[in-house]
Amino acid sequence: MPQFVPGNSKVAANRRKMLDPTKTLDKVRDVSDDDVVAILGHRTPGAAYPSTHPPLSEMGEPEDPMRELVTPTDGAAAGDRIRYIQFTDSMYFAPMVPYVRSWMASTRFRGVDPGTLSGRQIIEARERDLDKIGKMLLESEAFDTARSGVRGCTVHGHSLRLDQNGMMFDMLARSVMNPDGTVSIVKDQVGRPLDKAVPVGKPMSDAELKNRTTIYRVDGEAARADKELVTYIQRIHTLRTMWGFKPMA
């Protein structure tokens, strides 16, 4: 039984839910396949997947036990290009935090290369795998329409105060709040205007965000108040300090 993260707080429980691939994430909105492709902006919706090499079945690969053991993903088998989706999550109780997003990509998806930075998180994968991953993430509770964003570049905003209407700051305004309080994505992840806006529904309320967040905050659930988490961090710190990266040696 894998143990994902320690802690007896609600935040720790949310992190475990995100990381455990046996648990299904709540689906909170519908985004069509074509809309996901449009938001990603790597190809025109409906167009064929460009390939970077012939399908594996036609390549005549050499005998290799690892190739027999590991089934290629659909994208790898078809020879798709590697493309990316990048998220920015506000520090104001966004459902996800970059490190948890990367851990989640590692535990839930195959054939991905997640990358973590302070204010953004990128997942690289074969194009048709990425479409499925992007759709799953955009429709799930791991994404909030106001406090999360799909931002390929000019990502600044995660650590800034929120806009007057509760949206995370985005210099390119890829998501806009409509007069009825719903949010629409109007640009792809690098800032090109979409042909038609993609409605993604109302943002979560503050109470709901606090209930679903994976971010420890002093004005929410503080990391230091989680005794189990602190105990484990101190234990790891002690082991690393005294025995480096091989504490059992």
Partner 1 sequence: MDTNVPDTNVPVQIEVFTERFLSPETVEELLTEIAKIDGIARLILHGPRIAPAVPEGPAKGTPNVHKGRRHIQVGQQDVELGVQVGRIWLELEDEDVIEQVEEACRRTLPFGFQINRGLYLRTRPTQTDYAKWGVIRDTRVLGMTDPKSKSRICSIYPRER
Residues that bind partner 1 (CB under 8 A): 41, 152-154, 156-157, 160-165, 169, 171-173, 176, 188, 190-193
Comparing CB distances to partner 1, the nearer of 12 and 168 is 168
d(CA 223, CA 11): 9
Comparing CB distances to partner 1, the nearer of 16 and 156 is 156
Smallest gap, in angstroms, from Cβ of residue 136 to partner 1? 25
Comparing CB distances to partner 1, the nearer of 171 and 225 is 171
d(CA 189, CA 187): 7
Smallest gap, in angstroms, from Cβ of residue 192 to partner 1? 5
Q: Tell me how far CA of residue 205 lies from CA of 10, 125, 143, 150, 192, in angstroms.
A: 17, 32, 13, 20, 29
Q: Is the dihedral of CA 144, 145, 150, 154 positive or negative?
A: negative
d(CA 30, CA 138): 8
d(CA 155, CA 172): 9
Comparing CB distances to partner 1, the nearer of 153 and 236 is 153
